[in-house]
Structure 1
Amino acid sequence: MTRRANYALVNFMELLGEDADDLDTPWAEFVGDRTEAHAFEIPADDPTEGFVQLQAYDVSEFGHEIVVNGEPLSGFDIPPAPGWQCWMDSITGTDLVGGENTLRIRRDAATDDAFVIGTATVHWKEPVE
């Protein structure tokens, strides 16, 4: 079966932290310990080889999670780095499905870390008809 690559862009612009004043980012909406569950569509059945590219600002701690379709990805998801970073993570521990999927980021509330999630791109391969 022939497959092609496809993707969906998910725009967050959300600040995760204990307080809305944790970072000077007035353009980001404060959401507390987790982002909204952003929906995106996969226009084909049987998506495979999924991965997420995530843009994050000022992450200071390990332990935050990328959650796809209600399930956290396995392993550590977002490494600490000052300023803006772009991180890629394989979708493991859950599956993408044809139709509606969701993407959410959860902050490790055991830390005092505050960071912004900018955008994410979810990639997959799908069958070509």
Structure 2
Amino acid sequence: MSRRTVHALVEFGELLGPHEEALDVPWAEFAGDRSSEVVFEVGTDDAADAYLQIQAYDVGTYDHEVLLNGEPLSGFDLPPADGWQSWTDAVTGAELREGENTLRVRRDEESRDAFVVGSVVVNWTEPV
């Protein structure tokens, strides 16, 4: 069976942190400990090989989580790095489903870390 690669671009542009002044990024909307829950569509019940490409700014700790349909992905989701980074994360511990899916980033509330979530590209394959 032939498969094709499909993607959805999910835009956040949100600052996650303990308070609005935690990071000097006036261009990002303050979201607190959780980003907005963004909705995207998957047109098949046979999505496979899914992964995320996450754009983040100034992540300081490993303990933040990416939630797909309310379920955290396995392992660490955002590695610490100064400035902008682009990170690829396999979709494990959660699944894409046909129709509406949600994506959200949750900040580790035990840390004092503040960071920005920019864009996320969700990639998967589906039958042709």
TM tier, smaller: over 0.9
5+ residue gaps, structure 1, are none
Q: Using the TM superposition, give the Cα deviation of residue 80 of structure 1 relative to its aligned residue in structure 2, in angstroms.
A: 0.1
- What's the counterpart of residue 57 of structure 2? 57
Q: How many residues in Structure 1 have an aligned counterpart in Structure 2?
A: 128
Report the TM-score, using the length of structure 2 for normalisation.
Answer: 0.98
Q: Percent identity?
A: 56
1:79 alignment counterpart: 79
Distance in 2, Cα, partners of 1:47 & 1:27: 35
For 1:54-91, what per-residue CA distance to the aligned partner results, in whole angstroms no more than 9, with x for missing partners? 00000011100011000000001100000000000000
Report the TM-score when normalising by structure 1: 0.97
- The one-letter amino acid of 1:3's match is R
Q: Which residue of 1 aligns with 2:70?
A: 70
Structure 1 stretches of 4+ with a deviation exceeding 2 A read none
Question: Who is 2:92 aligned against?
Answer: 92
Which position in structure 2 is the counterpart of 1:116?
116
Partner in structure 2 of residue 3 of structure 1: 3
Matching residue's letter, 2:82: P
Distance 1:98 1:25 in 2: 36
Contact 1:45 1:127 in 2 (8 A): no
Q: State the AA in 2 paired with 1:33.
A: D
5+ residue gaps, structure 2, are none
For residue 89 of structure 2, give the secondary structure of its aligned residue in structure 1. Answer: strand
RMSD (Å) for aligned C-alpha atoms:
0.6
